[in-house]
Structure formats: structure tokens, C-alpha cells
Amino acid sequence: MESRTADNFAKETRRVLREWDIYDKVVAVVTDNASNVTASVRLCGCKHVPCYAHSLNLIVQATLTEIEQVHIKVKKIVAFFQTKPLSCNKIKGNAKTNGHRRNKIKAGCTYQMEQHLRYVF
């Protein structure tokens, strides 16, 4: 198998388009955003259209990774305060002094968060 260069992709794309007798009929080609693939489309003389679904999926996956990192940090903070009564009382006192209502610190349910994320995304 040849390497996945733009030249090799373009060569194979032209071959297939000619074999199917559609070389002069193709107006645009929709692909992912891989640089070698987009370059190969341009080498064929076609307009490249990035796949919206692929781009959106990349954005969502990156966002979910960010959310998961924040979720892990918050769980560590909650675990810290659950095991340190003095620290917990101090933060409660600070909250009261600053006019925040008193809430109980709780760990939450990972299953519920996953269900919420599935609903949102």
C-alpha cells in the first residue's frame, strides 16, 4: 500500500473518477479536515467542502474532554472537604459572611451527570 500522501490520494481519486466516468461532473468533494485529503481534492481540481458533521463531532469531543477534566477536579475538591471537618466549617463560615446561602457539600452521581450530558449532546 502506498503512503497516504496528497499526491497518492489525488492519483487514486482521479483514477476512480475516470473509471466511473464522472471526472468532469464532480463539482465539490466533502471530506474530513485531514490536510492530506483536502490537498488531494485540490490537486484533482475540485472544490473541497469540509464535512460539517465531522467538524461538529470534533468540537463536541473536545468539549466533553474539558467537561470531564473539570468534573474530576470538582470531585477532588468535594472529597477534600468531606474528609476535613475544620476546612468544611471554615468554608461554610466564609460563605455565610459573604451572604451566600448554606448548601450541603455532596459528591453527586456520575450516572446522573452522564445522562444529562447524553441529553444535552
Least confident of 71-75, 93-97, 106-110: 106-110
pLDDT value at residue 94? 77
The pLDDT of residue 87 is 77
For residue 44, the 8-state DSSP code is T
All 3 cell numbers of residue 27? 463539482
Give 26's contacts (C-beta < 8 A, 6+ positions apart). 17, 44, 46
pTM above 0.85, yes or no: no
| Terminal-residue alpha carbon distance, the chain | 38
DSSP H helical segments within 45-109, as ranges?
A: 52-83, 85-97
For residue range 34-70, list pLDDT tens digits in order: 999 999 999 999 999 999 999 999 999 889 888 888 8
> Each residue of 99-109: pLDDT tens digit?
877 666 555 55
